[in-house]
Each structure stands twice: as C-alpha cells, then as structure tokens.
A and B are shown apart, each in its own frame.
Chain A
Amino acid sequence: MAEPLLAVRGLRKRFGGLVATDGVDLEVAAGETLAIIGPNGAGKTTLIGQLSGDLRPDAGTITFAGDDVTALPAATRSHLGLARSFQITSIFRDFTALDNVALAVQAHAGHSFRFWRPARAEARVREPARAILEQVGLAARADVVAGTLAHGEQRQLEIAMALATRPRLLLLDEPVAGMGLDESQRMVQLLRALRGRHTIVLVEHDMDVVWASADRISVLVYGRVIATGAPEAIRLNAEVRRAYLGEEVPA
C-alpha cells in the first residue's frame, strides 16, 4: 500500500475498568471506503471519537496525511480535512437546514471575528451550502428549522455538514441508525455516490449497507480488530462469523 491517508498505531482508550479500545491498528488508503463493524459495545463509536479528536486516546498514535494528529483538538483536525457525522444526530436544532450547512462552510472560509455584515447575506458561504444540500437531496428543505426535519432528513443533514468542510476523510458513525427502509435506501444511494470521490471510514450495524458500500471491512470486537479484509473474505472468515455474525461454524 502507498502511504495511507490515515494510519492508526497501537491505539488504547480505557474508561475506568473498561478497555474500550485495546491496541487498534488501522490503515485507510486515499479513495477507499473502510467499514468498521462489530457487535454493540465493541468500541466503534469510541474509536471514531478518537479519530475525530473528541476523545483523547491513552496510548498510540493517529497519523493523518503524514501529520501526527494524536494530540490535536477536533477543530484543528477539521481544518486538516477530517470530518465526522455523529451516531446520535448532532445538528443545530434551532437553525434552518441551510444555516446548519452554512455554519460548516463558514468554519472553513476565513475567520469569524466579523461583527458587521449579516452572515446570512454572504454568498461565499450560502452558495456552497445550497449546493451541498442539493447534493444530499435536501435542497427543498433548506429553509426548514432543522429540529423539525424528519429523522432521515436530519441524518442527511449530518452528512451535508461533514461534506461542507471539504474533508479528505469522512468519518461516518452509523449513518442509517434508526432509519426506515425508504430512508435507509436513500442513504445507501448517497453513500454510493460519495464512494470513490471521498475517502470514508464507515461505522455501521446494517450489514446490507456495509456489503453495498465498503471496499474493505475491519471487524472490531472488545476493542480489538480481529480481522480486516475484502467483504468476501470477511463474509467467509470463521472467527468473524463466530464473534459477530452470530453463526455456529461447523467444525
């Protein structure tokens, strides 16, 4: 593999007696989609949190595009090109959908110590925000207050806000969580459209989504990566089937 975009070495995180991340090594090449799967409590969200900078690991290093980002806060990593979506929808509920995305654009369009010009009149921020809403299929809902959007639309908005930071790597934490069938199909389409154009680390429970979107899969169990490989290899891996897919493997 050429120099990976993201390289994780020996990552460890414990919460009291619980070891949530137990020596994780990962590499993500530019352009690929890596899915991280694993049973509940395997430490997937904790891992994403450490990659995005919301959580500080106890040990190990995270290298992004050649820079050691292990000690950098989330806002700084965002400027290096790391963007995340949250498993539990995290948006600005009192603001419109367009405002939500415009804020993400604004964060990457110069400083915000500007006290005079109305931000909502700034074409430099609003136009790209509109284009991204279009891209995720929310253009018609631009002026709706985000807190009143349907659940699936809020999940799309999550992705839109991540895209608005023009990331080199997207960290998507269960983008279809809690979605109905229709909504989740729309999200899979969106993920397909992003695949190849963006480098993606995707945490997901829904195996249909994973099979449809991932180039490679890593399986996380009790904070450890027990297997990494192409979807077919993972599907056939006996240890994975025992630990996660819940099948009895004939001897």
Chain B
Amino acid sequence: MDSRARALALVAGFLVLGLVPVVAALTLQPFYLDLFRRIMIFAIAAVSLDLILGFGGMVSFGHAAYLGIGAYAVAIPAFYGIDNGIVQWTLALGLSGLAALVIGAVSLRTSGVSFIMITLAFAQMLYYLGISINAWGADDGMRLARRSQFGPVIDLANPYVFYYVVFGLLVLLLWLGHRLIHARFGMVIRAARSNEPRMQAVGFATFRYKLAAFAIAGAVCGLAGALLANQTEYLTPSFMHWTRSGDIMVMVILGGMGTLFGPVLGAVAFLLLEDLLSAWTVHWQVVLGPLLVLVVLYARRGLYGLLPGGVPHG
C-alpha cells in the first residue's frame, strides 16, 4: 500500500513535468519551459551517474567529461555544416561511451580514493584539451548556429517540441534503467557494490560488468551533453569542469543514491534551488550546503527516501 502511495507520488510528479509546457503557454512564461527542460537534461545526466555511483558503487568524479564530449559531438559537426541530429546524437552516444570505456578500463583497476582521483584527472585532462584547441573555440567555446535537425516533424527549434523530446527521452531512460537494474546485469553490479570479493568467489569476473556499466553510464551522459548543447545553443569547455561533475554528484546524493527516481528529484531540487536562491544572492550554495548535510545525515536514500513507502532494499 505504501509502495502504491509512492508510485502515485511519482506519477503525479511526471504529470506535472508533462504539463509544464501547458502552464508555461497559458501563463505566457516561456522561461519555465527553458528551466524545466534544463532540469530534465541534468536529470538524465544524474540518472546515468547513479547507475555507476549508486547502483554500482563506483564513485566517478569525472562524469561531466561525458557531458562535454556529447556537447562537442553536436557542436563540432555543426561547425563543419553537419547538423543532422541522428548523426550528431549517435556520435554523442558513441564517442562518450567509447571514452568511458577507455577511462573506465584504466580507472577501474583502482578503487576508493584513487578511483575518485583518476576519474577526476581524466575529466580535467579533457577540460584542458577543450581549452587548448583554438580551432574549436578554446575557452570561449563554440556557438551552435542551428539545433540538431530531425526533419520537419521533430523541429527542436520549437521549444515545445524540444521539451517533449527531452521529456520522452527521460521517461524512456527510466524505463530502460528499471529493466536493467532488475535484470541479471543489474543484479551483478548491485551485488558487486555490496560485496565484490564475494562476487568473485562465486565466479563473477566483476571487472567486465563494472566496465560495461561505466561505459553505458558514459554514453547516456553523452546524450545529456548533446541535449545540453541544443538547450544552451553554445558550449564551452566548462561543461567538463570538475565543479560540473560535482553538481551532478550532488544531484544524485541529494535525490537518493541507488534509486532510479532519486536523481530526477535531486536534479529538480538542485536546479530549482539554484534558480530561486540565485535571484536572491550569488552565494546561493550557502543554503544548498547545509541542506545537503541534513539530507545526508537524516534521509537515507535522499529525497526519494522521504517519499511515502520507505526505502526498498537490495
């Protein structure tokens, strides 16, 4: 019964997200369309991080790297006149997944603090690479002349169409994620977080499963990067800056690690707070900080854990 209450709360939440464009149109406040589209894009990034951080126990502190790769995978082809969305987004998924495969293959040989530091170092390397390539804008970044093109029906230049594309991708991701974490693969990465030596003792070569999860998370975050480039219509290397990795991690922790919907709640809470409080003070993180401490101390599984129905196990 409690789990039904939670399901109801989540469905209500998604109805609200789905109705944002209607409200924005009726109140003539297109700003909300923009804000919630941005929130959903970061929700996609946060869900992808939670797959490895919350479910897999891999504390990657360089997740923004894939956000950047995905954004560049849109902006660089666009710069050379290729604005076909299928090409750009496929590149975003493929290249960020490939980068995650390489970074993971090295980083996953370590654990604990070393793992955090190595993932951070890789992301910073890409950040400085972005800064140093003059042809692609260096630290000024690149403007996106046109959003990704998907033919006349799916026209991302229309803010409402773009909104529902992002909304649809988020819902699709959550559905696929739900299948994945309960399938064999999900059981393996969750159990490896719980007790990796035990997994190896019963016969799992855990490395390859963790690496696959790492690459999938990178690819999904790359898609979020492609969406973000379309959202802002420009990109700078700061997409990959370590503070951005930190933001995504805060969203996951705030919303609830190891839950599917927690990172979505975290992205909503983080970016709404940023929006509301930064109008009031530039030091808005003065409020975010203590809030995060309270959530970590008192709410197991973050904001998601505060929903009716308690915390599921496993």
Which residues of A line the B interface, CB within 8 A?
A: 52-54, 73-76, 78-79, 83-84, 86, 90-96, 99, 103-104, 106-108, 112-120, 122, 145, 161-162, 164-165
Contact = CB atoms under 8 A, between A and B. Distances in A.
Contact of B191 (A79, A92, A118, A122): A92
B185 A165 contact: no
B209 interface: yes
If over half of B's interface residues share one DSSP class (helix, strand or loop), that class is named, otherwise mixed; here it is helix
Q: Which of B185, B195, B198 has the most CB of A within 10 A?
A: B198
A117 B183 contact: yes
Contact of A119 (B184, B205, B313): B184
B209 A112 contact: yes
Nearest to A92: B194
A86 B313 CA distance: 24
Given A75-B205, A106-B187, A112-B187, A92 B197 contact: no
B199 interface: yes
B52 to A, nearest CB: 15
A108 B194 CA distance: 19
Interface in B162-201: 179-180, 182-188, 190-191, 194-195, 197-201
A234 B203 CA distance: 35
Contact of B198 (A91, A96, A106, A114): A91
Given A115-B185, A118-B182, A119-B182, A90 B313 contact: no
Given A79-B203, A95-B190, A95-B313, 20 more contacts: A52-B201, A54-B197, A73-B205, A74-B200, A75-B203, A75-B206, A90-B195, A90-B201, A92-B198, A93-B194, A95-B194, A99-B314, A103-B199, A104-B202, A104-B203, A112-B188, A112-B209, A115-B184, A115-B185, A162-B202
Nearest to A148: B313
B212 interface: yes
**Interface pairs A-B: 7 shortest CB-CB:** A78-B203, A107-B203, A104-B202, A112-B184, A114-B184, A74-B200, A75-B205
B201 A84 contact: yes
29 contacts: A54-B197, A73-B200, A74-B201, A75-B201, A78-B202, A78-B203, A90-B195, A92-B198, A93-B195, A94-B314, A103-B191, A104-B202, A106-B184, A106-B188, A107-B202, A107-B204, A112-B185, A112-B188, A112-B204, A112-B209, A113-B184, A113-B209, A114-B184, A116-B183, A118-B183, A119-B182, A119-B183, A162-B202, A165-B202
